[in-house]
Amino acid sequence: MSERTSYAPGMPCWIDLGTPDQDAAAAFYGALFGWRVEEDENAEQTGGYRVALLGERAVGGVMKLMQEGQPPAWMTYIAVEDADATAAKAREAGGTVHAEPMSVLDYGRMAVLADPTGAVFGIWQAGKNIGAGVVGEAGAMTWNELNTRDPETAKAFYGKVFGWSFEEKEYERGTYTIISVGGEGIGGITDRIPPEAPAHWLVYFAVEDTDATLAKAREREGDVPAGPFDIDEVGRIAVVKDPWGAIFAVIQPDPQM
C-alpha cells in the first residue's frame, strides 16, 4: 500500500462523507471498497464521527449531516500549515469561509471554505492526525478533481491560496488541467460539468475492477450517472451516486501507467 505519514502543504490529505445514515453508508462503502467503518475513540466529542479503515489504515471519515437541508456529499480536505492564515488568504482571494477555523481535539485544526466558483472544500492543519494513512491503492482515495464552469477563476484562486501550478493536457475527451504541488500531480480541473450540477470537488477511489465495482453499487441501490469509459494512460473511470445522493468516482488505473 502507498502509506503516508505526512502531507506537504497544498496536497489533498483527507476526505469525508456527510450522510443521513451512517450505518447504511458504512455497509454500502464497505461492500464496494472493503472498508471497516468504526466510531472515533472520541465520538461523543466529535459528533459521532466515524473513521473508514482499509486494513488498519484510515482512508476517510463518515459523519452525520450537520444541518437541515445539507446535501449528502464527499468533501476533500487540503493540507495547510496554518488554518487561520489560509482562511484569511482565501477570503482575500475571493473565497468564502463557511466554517471558521476550529480545533478538533488534538487531532488538528480545520475550516470549510468555498472557492469563487462555488466549490466547497476543507483545509486541515495536522495535529495528531495527519490525514489518510493510505492513498492510491484499491479502496483508497487516489485523485481529486475540481468540476467548475470557470477554470480560469478557480486557477487564480487556488494558485494564490495554495501555490498550485497548472498544466493543460489534451485527451480524447478534451483539455484537462493537471494540478501540481512541488512538481507532483495531485489533482485536476475540468469544465465538463452537467448543467444541473453546482461546482464541486469530485473524489476518485482506486479500484481493481471498475465494472465489478459498478455492479456492486447497483446491487446496493447506487446509480452510475456517467461511464464507464476508458482514457488511454489513465484508466477505466465511472461516476457513481450512492443511495443518498453523494457523488464520487472510481478508477481502475491503466496497467501501462
| Cα distance from N-terminal residue to C-terminal residue, the chain | 16
Among 66, 98, 126, where does a domain finish?
126
pLDDT digits (tens, 9 = 90+) for 169-194: 988 777 899 999 999 999 999 999 98
Q: Rounded to whole angstroms, how far apart are CA atoms 251 and 240? A: 11
CATH number of domain containing 147: 3.10.180.10
Q: Shortest CA distance to 79 belongs to which of 152, 184, 193, 207?
A: 184
Q: Cα dist. 163→62, 113, 131 in Å? A: 29, 17, 20
Specify if 5 maps to a domain: no
Specify the number of domains making up the chain: 2
Among 84, 101, 126, where does a domain finish?
126
Same domain? 100 vs 174: no
Q: Cα dist. 112→36, 74, 200 in Å? A: 26, 13, 13
Same domain? 122 vs 153: no
Q: Rounded to whole angstroms, how far apart are CA atoms 12 and 9? A: 9
Same domain? 75 vs 180: no
Radius of gyration from C-alpha coordinates of the chain: 17
Specify if 132 maps to a domain: no
* Pairing mode of beta strands 96-104, 73-79: unpaired
Could you tell me the pTM of the whole model? 0.96
Among 74, 91, 126, where does a domain finish?
126
Specify if 155 maps to a domain: yes
Specify if 153 maps to a domain: yes
Q: What local confidence, expressed as pLDDT, does residue 257 receive?
A: 57
Specify if 88 maps to a domain: yes
Predicted confidence pLDDT, tens digits, the chain (257 residues): 489 999 999 999 999 999 999 999 999 999 999 999 998 888 788 889 999 999 999 999 999 998 888 999 999 999 999 999 999 999 999 999 999 999 999 999 999 999 999 999 999 999 999 999 999 999 999 999 999 999 999 999 999 999 999 999 988 777 899 999 999 999 999 999 988 899 999 999 999 999 999 999 999 999 999 999 999 889 999 999 999 999 999 999 987 65
* Residue range(s) defining the domain that contains residue 33: 12-126
Same domain? 114 vs 163: no
Same domain? 79 vs 154: no
Same domain? 49 vs 119: yes
Q: Rounded to whole angstroms, how far apart are CA atoms 139 and 216? A: 14
